[in-house]
A and B are shown apart, each in its own frame.
Chain A
Amino acid sequence: DVHLVESGGDLVQPGGSLTISCGASGFIFTDYWMHWVRQAPGKGLVWVARINSDGSSTSYADSVRGRYTVSRDNAKNILFLYMDSLRVEDTAVYYCQFSTSSGDDYWGQGTLVTVAS
């Protein structure tokens, strides 16, 4: 079975930094582009970032570009999101996610990042 398990969410002060992780199992991690998606409490889904299968190409939402960095360790099957200069509006549950070409999609349970003083 495919499993995506996010971890590392925490309470951080504005201006601070945090790295969250997503451990992957049950599928060939190196075959898939991976995404981070966030959802603020009571709000909609927001695409945050993606990384290609070998980690050589990344893309970011305008709201996080220059502050967030997505990376992956294909030897350990782990996806990372480094978040810097955090703002109150970055508070959200962060999900890692991927889809297959046949329409199967997989999400983790999410990890909560709270930015507050």
Chain B
Amino acid sequence: SYELTQPPSVSVSPGQTARITCSGDALPKQYAYWYQQKPGQAPMLVIYKDTERPSRIPARFSGSASGTTVTLTISGVQADDEADYYCQSADSGGDCEVFGGGTKLTVL
């Protein structure tokens, strides 16, 4: 079955830039989506279609794609950005969707 691979954890100091990667063989063919989830809350979409940012999401969140890897970048990290982040995409045929294992972002 198709898998997306994320690092389990990323740590940054406030004001620095956090980069969270997601790798999958079908990413050149399928869009990726990024979700933020804070404890006790439902997930929230922060990036869609690889690079698009919903209007309600701060501009410090951005997405990029290169080959089989997509990256969520958070510039000028704030304490409030501490959360779990998940990438989501589909297999090459688009039949089956999958989430990555999640990355815990810690703001030091």
Q: Which residue of A lies closest to B2 (CB)?
A: A62
Of the four ranges (under 10, 10 to 19, 20 to 34, 35 or more), the interface on chain B belongs to 20 to 34
A107→B37 CA distance, assembly (Å): 12
A45-B37, A47-B97 known; A99 and B48 CB under 8 Å? yes
Contact indicator per residue, chain A 21-39, by CB within 8 Å of chain B (1) or not (0): 0000000000000010100
A59 engages B42 (CB within 8 Å): no
Task: Please report A residues at the B interface, Cβ cutoff 8 Å.
Answer: 35, 37, 44-47, 50, 59-62, 95, 99, 102-105, 107-110
B99 engages A110 (CB within 8 Å): no
Give which listed residue, A45, A99, A103, A104, contacts B99 with CB less than 8 A: A45
Give which listed residue, B42, B52, B102, contacts A107 with CB less than 8 A: B42
B97 engages A109 (CB within 8 Å): no
A103 engages B54 (CB within 8 Å): yes
B44 engages A103 (CB within 8 Å): no
